[in-house]
């Protein structure tokens, strides 16, 4: 990594080089070994039982978690002094990606190691960590996270669960109902959020055996059927005062900061699932014959394969770029300081916009992948004997988990604008420059000696376009822009696609330096396919945003800017798609 560490959201106003990003090609031998261990675990211990797990044989899930513990896969993010490995975010995301191929089991794993364990790591006292982390590290105990309620989902702070100090001041008495709790039926430790005296939103560590904790029946779900999802009912539940987590009234910090990591990790998990589903679709396309030839030889199928491969490449590039950013930022924090985890959380929060981007973009990619893989299977994709059916059902929850994609899309521009208002990003000054460029004709020619010159020029232009629309929106609505959700969603779609295109382009540029000629051609084809598709999405969002924000001559001027700044020469697109698809189908593997 280079010395410069970009701030969260800064990619929109800065020119980023490939030296400044981390890519999957840079995994260490240790990281690759841990990834291989995870793959073997899933293949040997989970996939042979995946149908039984989907029939809610939760004993197999609990046994699988214990085996994960034996392999060290539950302790990657926990401190060494409590039996953990305390590895970097790249490794953590890599394991999350590889575990994702285990279907519903991966949901239990992700909930336990992420939102179930990290609140304790970040906010627990020494006594709390010593009591619980060793058990969570080994899988002896499984954790669950209890934030959502029947009446509060996205509005987490609207929770109605209450906590009242007992007369003897030895316990908090919790009352309320928590909804959609992953691992609910077999977890032994619950991170529960409740309002002390109906006012102070606070987190508690609640053991399953505490008096007054009742586990509700399993929800009957569309997908992820092999994960446990229940209500947790708190009926005068007695929680020792020593199990208050963090500070009174500061539960929102725990909830939202841990969700940043959850969103990021979800991005890695769904990327792993996309790779798996894509290969299942490709293998089926090679086996299925119609009109005397494999359907993988038909252009209609090849275009699907090419687009999905390019999307998956971009998702993977985005996830590990963000992992590298986080690792670089966290490495600057002195572990010896007393408030280490306070600063650590600030380091993660710095990239909250990118964490939301990871969640939204990657889950949308998986949605497209499973939809097209089912389509490739035709009628058989609708039959449960084929994995495409399970992929399709299991995917749907990912656009709801960790905050809906709509909420996350609203958060992205909101957080970036707040950074600008605090003076952390020069958004206003750059927006003024961007608007000036709108009125200045440009005749700049591409320098063909620069790798991916067309894509880099496009990125510069898309950033300009984002700044024009964001600046116009702020100028028109000022602080009331937060209420203009339709406008914010168009800004988010542009910000997401810009980050994804840039991640794919810079990764490909970096990889091309040591790649063979054939690999270079595949990388160039992948970038062309993805950039074309992503630019269409960004341009549509920009055009919509222009109509939302302006009218008259100013509208016409901005629409002219959309046509100018969203222009991408994708000459050779068909040949790029065919090369990509034919190579994937011939090799029956993810190419990168």
Q: Please report which helix (H) or strand (E) contains residue 475, including its range.
A: helix 453-477
Contact 223, 173 (CB under 8 A): no
Q: How many CB atoms lie within 10 A of CB 521?
A: 16
CA distance to 297, 407, 501, 559, 570, per residue, from 537 (Å): 28, 19, 11, 15, 15
Question: Of all residues in the chain, what percent are helix, strand and coil, respectively (each to 5)?
Answer: 65, 10, 25
Q: CB-based contacts of 288: which residues, under 8 Å, 6+ apart?
A: 294, 295, 377, 378
What is the DSSP pairing of strand 162-165 with strand 171-182? antiparallel
The first and second tokens of residue 291, run together, are 């009109």
What is the DSSP pairing of strand 143-146 with strand 189-196? parallel
The first and second tokens of residue 319, run together, are 């996830």
Adjacent-strand bridge partners of 133: none
List own/partner pairs for 350-354 with CB under 8 A and 24 or more apart: 350/7, 350/8, 351/8, 351/260, 351/322, 351/325, 351/326, 352/8, 352/260, 352/411, 352/415, 353/8, 353/9, 353/411, 353/412, 353/415, 353/416, 353/495, 354/8, 354/9, 354/264, 354/322, 354/325, 354/499
H helices within 232-351, ranges in order?
251-287, 299-330, 340-349
d(CA 481, CA 284): 48
Q: Is 402 a catalytic residue?
A: yes
Adjacent-strand bridge partners of 104: none
For CA atoms 189, 194, 200, 201, the dihedral sign is positive
Contact 496, 412 (CB under 8 A): yes
One of 402, 430, 455, 502 is an active-site residue; which one?
Answer: 402
Residue 216's SS3 state is strand
CA distance to 277, 581, 589, per residue, from 378 (Å): 15, 19, 21
Adjacent-strand bridge partners of 354: none
Cα-Cα-Cα-Cα torsion 532, 314, 434, 474, nearest 10 degrees, comes to 110
Would you mind telling me the total number of residues written for the chain in this entry? 592
d(CA 281, CA 467): 39
Burial of 396 (0-12, 13-18, 19+ CB in 10 A): middle
Contact 134, 94 (CB under 8 A): no
Contact 108, 65 (CB under 8 A): yes
- Residue 176's φ and ψ, nearest 5 degrees, are 145, 180
Count how many Cα atoms sit within 13 Å of the Cα of residue 437 in the half-sphere of its side chain. Answer: 23
Residues classed as catalytic: 402
């Amino acid at each position: 990594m280079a010395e410069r560490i970009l701030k969260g959201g800064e990619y929109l106003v800065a020119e980023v080089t490939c030296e400044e990003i981390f890519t999957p090609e840079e995994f260490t031998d240790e990281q690759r070994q841990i990834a291989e261990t995870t793959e073997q675990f899933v293949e040997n211990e989970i996939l042979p039982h995946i149908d039984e797990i989907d029939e809610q044989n939760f004993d197999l899930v609990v046994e699988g978690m214990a085996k994960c513990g034996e392999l060290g896969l539950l302790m990657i993010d926990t401190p060494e002094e409590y039996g953990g490995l305390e590895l970097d975010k790249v490794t953590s995301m890599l394991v999350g990606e590889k575990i994702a191929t285990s279907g519903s089991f991966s949901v239990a794993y992700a909930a336990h190691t992420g939102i179930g364990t990290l609140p304790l790591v970040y906010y627990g006292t020494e006594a709390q960590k010593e009591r619980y982390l060793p058990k969570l590290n080994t899988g002896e105990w499984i954790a669950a996270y209890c934030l959502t309620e029947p009446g509060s989902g996205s509005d987490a702070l609207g929770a109605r669960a209450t906590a009242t100090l007992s007369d003897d001041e030895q316990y908090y008495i919790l009352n309320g109902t928590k909804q959609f709790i992953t691992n609910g039926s077999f977890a032994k430790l619950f991170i529960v959020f409740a309002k002390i005296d109906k006012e102070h939103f606070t987190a508690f560590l609640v053991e399953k055996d505490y008096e007054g904790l009742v586990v509700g029946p399993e929800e009957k779900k569309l997908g992820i059927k092999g994960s446990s999802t229940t209500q947790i009912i708190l009926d005068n539940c007695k929680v020792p005062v020593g199990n208050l987590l963090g500070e009174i009234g500061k539960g929102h910090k725990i909830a939202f900061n841990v969700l940043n990591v959850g969103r990021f990790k979800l991005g890695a998990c769904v990327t792993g699932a996309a790779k798996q589903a894509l290969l299942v679709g490709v293998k089926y396309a090679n086996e299925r014959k119609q009109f005397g030839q494999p359907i993988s030889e038909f252009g209609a199928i090849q275009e699907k394969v090419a687009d999905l491969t390019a999307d998956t490449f971009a998702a993977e590039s985005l996830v590990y770029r963000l992992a590298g950013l986080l690792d670089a930022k966290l490495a600057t924090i002195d572990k010896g300081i007393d408030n280490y985890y306070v600063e650590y959380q600030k380091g993660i929060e710095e990239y909250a916009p990118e964490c939301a981007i990871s969640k939204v973009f990657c889950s949308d990619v998986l949605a497209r992948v499973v939809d097209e893989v089912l389509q490739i299977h035709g009628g058989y994709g609708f039959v449960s004997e084929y994995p495409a059916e399970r992929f399709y059902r299991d995917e749907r929850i990912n656009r709801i988990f960790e905050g809906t994609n709509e909420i996350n899309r609203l958060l992205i521009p909101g957080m970036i604008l707040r950074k600008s208002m605090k003076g952390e990003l020069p958004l206003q000054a750059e927006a003024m420059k961007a608007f000036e460029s709108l009125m200045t004709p440009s005749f700049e020619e591409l320098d063909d000696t620069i790798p991916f010159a067309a894509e880099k020029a496009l990125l510069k232009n898309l950033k300009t376009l984002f700044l024009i629309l964001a600046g116009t929106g702020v100028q028109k609505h000022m602080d009331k822009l937060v209420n203009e959700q339709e406008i914010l969603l168009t800004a988010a779609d542009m910000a997401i696609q810009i980050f994804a295109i840039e991640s794919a382009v810079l990764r490909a540029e970096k990889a091309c330096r040591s790649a063979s000629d054939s690999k270079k051609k595949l990388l160039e084809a992948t970038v062309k396919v993805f950039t074309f598709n992503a630019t269409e999405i960004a341009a549509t969002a920009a055009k919509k945003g222009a109509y939302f924000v302006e009218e008259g001559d100013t509208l016409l001027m901005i629409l002219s800017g959309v046509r100018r700044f969203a222009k991408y020469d994708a000459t050779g697109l068909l040949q790029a798609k065919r090369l990509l698809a034919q190579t994937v189908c011939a090799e029956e593997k993810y190419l990168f």
